[in-house]
Amino acid sequence: MTETRERKLPFLIMIAIVLFLPFLGKGGILAAAIIAAALVGSPLFVLIGIATLGSLFLWSGFRDPTQFTIVIEGIRSLADSPTLLAIPFFIMSGAVMSRGQISQRLVDFAQALIGWVPGGMAMSGVIACMLFAAISGSSPATVVAIGTMMGPALIAAGYQERFSHGLLTSAGSLGILIPPSIPMIVYPIVNQTAVIEVERLFASGFGPGLVMGSILIGYSFYQGITDKVPTEPFKFKKLMAATRDGFWALMFPILILGGIYGGIFNAVEASAVSVAYAVVVEVWLHRALKLKAIPEIFGETGVFLGSFLVIMVMALALGEFLEKEEIPARMVEWIQGKDLEYWQFLVLLNMILLAVGMMMDILSAMFVFVPLLAPIAASMGVDPMHFGIIFIVNLEIGYLTPPVGLNLFVASALYEKGLGHVIRSVAPFVGLMLIGLGIITWYPQVSIGLGNAIMGGDPNAMVDEDGDGEDDGGDSGGMPTMEEMMQEAMGDDDWDDEDEEEDEEEEAPEDEAAGEEAADAADAEPDTAE
């Protein structure tokens, strides 16, 4: 009886809040509607839809259904984005690999490569997570795929249970930072303040991914020495066997990333290649899946993608509403009025994003907060690439923080442990990742410098060397000029021909004038002679 009352009490409190909020005005009405929908178990796209349509109805005065064309504009905006095609393909390839043997073979390779070092098995778990993350692009998938095998293995080898669970849960979050990454594909779509190449953003993720991975590897080394975990001697034959068995798994990131940066295909084409490669490897080479299982996997992906696209449409419409109401512009003015130093703004930005990461999943947070914060960051001189990496790293940490830490719930179900146990296990790793966040934030060369070096161009472009909030060189990477848009619309060749014709027309009067002057001079010569 007492337990029943304890369960009912929070629900009754929420009902009371919902009934009270409408008395606070329009904002209270909207908040009450969202909370009420959450209480009855509505999915995320319904909550964002209520927020969007409610905002348009309450503040913009939309009453006629024909006025809600802003939502249709959101759909059209998505349809015009070719980058969007990469998302379902990478999700499909990750789902195929999670069902197959690629993760197991990556673990075996990492263990054979570095298992002989103190803390080597824990370090191999981190490396396996980084390799699988570079293939799947999904943090929860990485936690499940690697954690299933490495969790019991680490405990059996002598590592503390809390350390083992915390390490693998934290290392799994690297999936959204190491390319190819789905959030890195979404970011250029929702950031309308600059033209951002997905491929360049992928390249910018390598440096931060290595920073975070190195910190976790270093802590694993320390823990291996502290716990006096026994190690196995290095065996060259074992490494060769693991390399042979894991050859096709290891070739996956080389094929995808090498193809992108070698100019063979772009990010969208690479996503399609990743699906074909995953199916061929798991069905015919590893023989881990039956061909008849592939349609089922694709069907599950399609269901997820349907809700995902609804979220994107509603979030983009919400962004249009915020822009129409000039909310980002007002926030820019407010921030500028505070006269913050460059470093003060970066600290404030990280605090805001860490709080957002605690309450929202990364994709929803990107749809809602990138349109709000990107103009402010641009006004403070933060490079759009650097801002994107900072955003993703913060939300990566959000995967490990309650109340909406997705990886926490995944790990809790995977290891059959209470949520409190998982939260305590990841706490020291969150502290370590905050150190990595500080490095990535304060030294933009780690991200955009390496990205520009890989993609070509000035490695120092758009890097704020002196911390004054101003670009120290290079192109700002802003919106295309009218000339560039005309070139894209008409084709470079047609545009060049038109330019040549205009130049000829401009030069023609000058030539005619010169000819007339010469004729007048010739007529004047006889008179002079006379």
Per-residue pLDDT of 150-160, as tens digits, reads 898 899 888 99
Please tell me the predicted confidence (pLDDT) of residue 15: 77
Helices and strands (DSSP H and E) totals, the chain:
24, 0
State whether 124 and 35 are in the same domain: no
On average, the pLDDT of the chain sits at 78
Q: Which of 401, 426, 455 is the last residue of a domain?
A: 455
Is residue 282 one of the residues assigned to a domain?
A: yes
Task: Please compute the mean of the pLDDT values over residues 123-133 and round it to a whole number.
Answer: 88
Total residues found in the chain within this entry: 530
Q: Looking at the structure, do residues 123 and 187 belong to the same domain, yes or no?
A: yes
Q: Is residue 513 part of a domain?
A: no
- pLDDT score recorded for residue 475: 40
**Is the Cα torsion angle 492, 498, 504, 510 positive or negative in sign?**
negative
Chain centroid offset of residue 351 CA: 18
- State how far the Cα of 3 lies from the Cα of 171, in Å rounded to an integer: 37
Range of the domain at 52: 21-62
Domain shared by 155 and 262, yes or no: yes
And the tokens for 224?
A: 């291996």
Distance CA 297, CA 88 (A): 12
Residues 59-104: tens digit of each pLDDT? 776 666 665 666 666 666 666 666 677 778 887 887 888 788 888 8
Would you give the DSSP letter of residue 233?
A: P
**Segment 32-67, tens digit of pLDDT:** 888 888 777 776 667 777 887 788 778 776 666 665
pLDDT tens digits, one per residue of 170-193? 998 887 888 888 889 889 988 878
Please, which pLDDT band fits residue 429 given cuts at 50, 70 and 90?
Answer: very high
**The pLDDT of residue 61:** 67
Give the mean model confidence (pLDDT) for residues 426-449. Answer: 94
Burial class (CB in 10 A: 0-12, 13-18, 19+), 94: buried
Q: Which residue has the higher pLDDT, 511 or 312?
A: 312
Arithmetic mean of pLDDT, 320-335: 72
Say which residue, 432 or 379, is predicted with more confidence: 432
pLDDT score, position 485: 36
**Quick one: 52 and 162 in the same domain?**
no
pLDDT reported for residue 382: 92
Residue 8 lies in a domain: no
Whole-angstrom distance, CA of residue 523 vs CA of residue 83:
67
Q: What is the band of 209 on the pLDDT scale with cuts at 50, 70, 90? A: very high
Q: Using pLDDT thresholds of 50, 70 and 90, give the confidence band for residue 106.
A: confident
Q: Give domain status of residue 359, yes or no.
A: yes
419 occurs within a structural domain: yes
Domain end marker among 423, 438, 455: 455
Statement to judge: residues 58 and 89 lie in one domain: no
Q: pLDDT value at position 174?
A: 85
Give the CA radius of gyration of the chain.
28
Question: What's phi and psi for 490, nearest 5 deg?
Answer: -95, -15
pLDDT of residue 529: 40
Do 265 and 343 belong together in one domain? yes
Average pLDDT over residues 408-415: 84
109 in the same domain as 28: no
Residue 18's CB is within 10 A of a number of other CB atoms, namely: 18
Q: Which of 434, 455, 476 is the last residue of a domain?
A: 455
Q: Indicate the number of domains in the chain.
A: 2
Residue 54 lies in a domain: yes
pLDDT at 8: 64
Helices 384-398 & 198-226 angle (0-180, nearest 10): 40
Q: What percent of the chain has pLDDT over 70?
A: 75
DSSP annotation of 281 reads I
Helices (H), 338-480: 342-359, 362-379, 384-398, 406-415, 419-442, 448-455
Q: Are residues 448 and 341 in the same domain?
A: yes
Residue entry with tokens 């995944």: 410
Q: Which of 205, 194, 188, 181 is nearest to 377 (CA)?
A: 194
* Same domain, yes or no: 27 and 135: no
Does 478 reside within a domain?
A: no
Do 28 and 123 belong to one domain? no
| 138 shares a domain with 41 | no
Task: Answer yes or no: is 213 within a domain.
Answer: yes
Q: What is the mean pLDDT of residues 213-225?
A: 94
Kindly state whether residues 51 and 179 are assigned to the same domain: no
Would you place residue 216 in the very low, low, confident or very high pLDDT band (cuts 50, 70, 90)? very high
pLDDT bin (cut points 50, 70, 90) of residue 130 is: confident
